């Protein structure tokens, strides 16, 4: 009897966020219990993920020597997971950016893991994904946007801005506004894509969990895992493409 009551209690707690969202609200997150959490819960969640990644990285690396890091753990661990994800991103960066990709890997790897874990936390009952807030996604997109132009200027100097003028001088008056609009659209595209897909996925999972809280939501939870990875992947790949375009302009001209 006690086990049955405990099971019902766990089920009720698990369904609480979904029920709140299905009822038309923003949903429930335990971070709302913190001071100002009703409005800043997504900031608390993003900060929690950032601290978690910092602590996890410190635990994974710790005081280990380089030769010790070469030997993989005998079982699947957090270190193996990080190495798998970063190895995947490293290969992509090398294919898209080129042999000098290592200079940009810290930014790209951090963005990928940060976005992935912010997406994944939304699949845990009692939490909402920070990436369903435009404040977070736009902030990430602006970091990539500013970093892209910084890398372009660092690699090519003032000649970086020549690509805004087009291949020949006489079409510069036409190309300049087009290029400016195109570049300004990038952070909006990155942020809205991530925000829209995560919000939509979370709403679907929450809706089915509220209607049928047993078995059926697990299918959509699996879909949520896939969407969480794909959206982090797309954001990171687009960032690679933007960086690649910025740092290779000198070779093109």
The tens place of each residue's pLDDT in the chain, 253 residues long, gives: 444 333 433 333 343 344 334 333 457 888 999 999 888 999 999 999 999 999 998 888 776 666 566 666 777 788 888 888 999 999 999 999 988 899 999 999 999 999 999 999 988 878 899 999 999 999 999 999 999 999 999 988 888 888 888 777 788 888 889 999 999 999 999 999 999 999 888 777 777 666 665 655 667 778 888 999 999 999 999 999 999 989 885 445 4
Instruction: List the helix and strand counts (H, then E) for the chain.
Output: 9, 0
Q: What are the C-alpha distances in Å from 155 to residues 59, 186, 243, 249?
A: 35, 21, 11, 9
Q: What is the pLDDT of residue 169?
A: 76
Report whether 222 contacts 127 (CB < 8 A). no
Rounded (10°) angle between helices 78-96 and 216-247: 40
Q: What is the pLDDT of residue 229?
A: 94
DSSP characters over 62-126: TT--HHHHHSPPSS--HHHHHHHHHHHHHHHHHHHT-TTGGGTHHHHHHHHHHHHHHHHHTTSTT
Q: What is the pLDDT of residue 7?
A: 40
Q: What is the pLDDT of residue 69?
A: 64
- The reported pTM is 0.82
Nearest-5° angle of CA 122, CA 127, CA 133? 65
Q: What is the pLDDT of residue 214?
A: 62
3-state secondary structure of 213: coil
The CB-based long-range contact list for 154-157 (8 Å cut-off, 24+ gap) reads 155/246, 155/247, 155/250, 156/247, 156/249, 156/250
DSSP letter (8 states) at residue 26: -
CA dihedral 193, 197, 200, 205 (to 10 degrees): -160
- What is the end-to-end Cα distance of the chain in Å, rounded? 76
CA distance 55 to 77: 15
CA distance 17 to 60: 32
Report whether 234 contacts 225 (CB < 8 A). no
Q: What is the pLDDT of residue 72?
A: 67
3-state secondary structure of 47: helix
Q: What is the pLDDT of residue 63?
A: 64
């Amino acid at each position: 009897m006690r086990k049955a009551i405990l099971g019902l209690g766990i089920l009720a707690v698990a369904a609480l966020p979904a029920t709140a969202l299905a009822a038309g609200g923003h949903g429930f997150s335990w971070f709302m219990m913190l001071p100002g959490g009703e409005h800043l819960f997504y900031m608390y969640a993003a900060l929690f993920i950032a601290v978690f990644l910092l602590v996890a990285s410190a635990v994974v690396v710790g005081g280990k020597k380089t030769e010790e890091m070469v030997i993989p753990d005998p079982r699947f661990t957090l270190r193996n997971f990080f190495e798998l994800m970063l190895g995947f991103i490293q290969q992509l960066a090398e294919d898209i950016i080129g042999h000098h990709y290592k200079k940009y890997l810290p930014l790209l790897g951090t963005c990928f893991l940060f976005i992935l874990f912010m997406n994944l936390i939304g699949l845990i009952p009692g939490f909402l994904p920070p990436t369903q807030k435009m404040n977070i996604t736009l902030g990430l997109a602006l970091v990539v946007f500013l970093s892209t132009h910084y890398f372009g200027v660092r690699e090519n100097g003032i000649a970086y801005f020549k690509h805004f003028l087009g291949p020949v001088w006489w079409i510069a008056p036409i190309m300049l506004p087009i290029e400016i609009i195109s570049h300004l659209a990038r952070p909006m595209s990155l942020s809205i894509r991530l925000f829209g897909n995560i919000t939509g996925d979370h709403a679907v999972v929450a809706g089915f969990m509220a209607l049928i809280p047993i078995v059926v939501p697990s299918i959509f939870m699996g879909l949520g895992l896939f969407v969480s990875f794909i959206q982090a992947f797309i954001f990171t790949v687009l960032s690679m493409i933007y960086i690649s375009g910025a740092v290779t302009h000198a070779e093109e001209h």
